[in-house]
Amino acid sequence: MKVTLPSAELVSRNFSDLLGRTFVAKAAPAAIVPKATDKWAVARYGTPGEATWVYWLVDLQAAAGLGAALSLIPAGAAQSAAKDGKFSEVLLDNFREVMNVGSSILRPVEGRVVLQDVLMSPQPSAAEMAKWLAGAKARLDVTTTLQGYEGGRMLLLNVPA
């Protein structure tokens, strides 16, 4: 299915409004290529009951910040979670909710987009992410800053099923 990916500015507005603090997504100076040693959270989207066709990759530093900011969890707790690669149930639920709200800015040609699930490192594997990157028909690579929390990197990929 074809989808129009949002602009960096729309991502910025959407998350700033949701979190009640300044979130800035800027186009990355070069394509982001995840390394096998990098840790990522991945939100997978599709139409209800159908295959996944949008992958939103968020490095753990940015994912922890987004999850923490939603319910004012201290920045230190977010930094520790990102460093350890272990999110508390609350932090993971908050991040999942941020990504669920993010589905509102993904525009399919027809139908609607829903969050199917969120994967946390060590899933997906580096090989799976490389496959998505190679198959992407559209992508948005951004670096992020989040007021009061660590910034990070995001990739949105439209990968036909």
Tell me the per-residue pLDDT of 75-128, one tens digit each, with 9 for 90 and over. 999 999 999 999 999 999 999 999 999 999 997 777 788 999 999 988 888 889
pLDDT digit string, tens, across residues 19-55: 999 999 999 999 998 888 889 999 999 887 778 889 9
DSSP reduced 3-state for 77: helix
* Domain positions in the chain: 3-158
**Fold observed for domain 3-158:** Chemotaxis protein chec (3.40.1550)
Is-contact 63 56, C-beta < 8 A?
A: no
User: What six digits make up the tokens of 23?
Assistant: 């979130």
Each as own residue / partner, the long-range contacts of residues 13-21 (CB below 8 Å, 24 or more positions apart, any chain) are: 14/101, 14/102, 14/104, 14/105, 15/66, 15/98, 15/102, 15/146, 18/70, 18/98, 18/101, 19/66, 19/69, 19/70, 19/98, 19/146, 21/69, 21/146, 21/147, 21/148
Please provide the distance, in angstroms rounded to a whole number, between the alpha carbons at the two ends of the chain: 7
pLDDT digit string, tens, across residues 127-137: 899 999 999 99
Give the global pTM. 0.93
DSSP reduced 3-state for 48: coil
At residue 138, does pLDDT exceed 80? yes
Is-contact 31 52, C-beta < 8 A?
A: no
Chain centre distance of CA 60: 9
DSSP reduced 3-state for 16: helix
Backbone angles phi, psi at 80, to 5 degrees: -65, -45
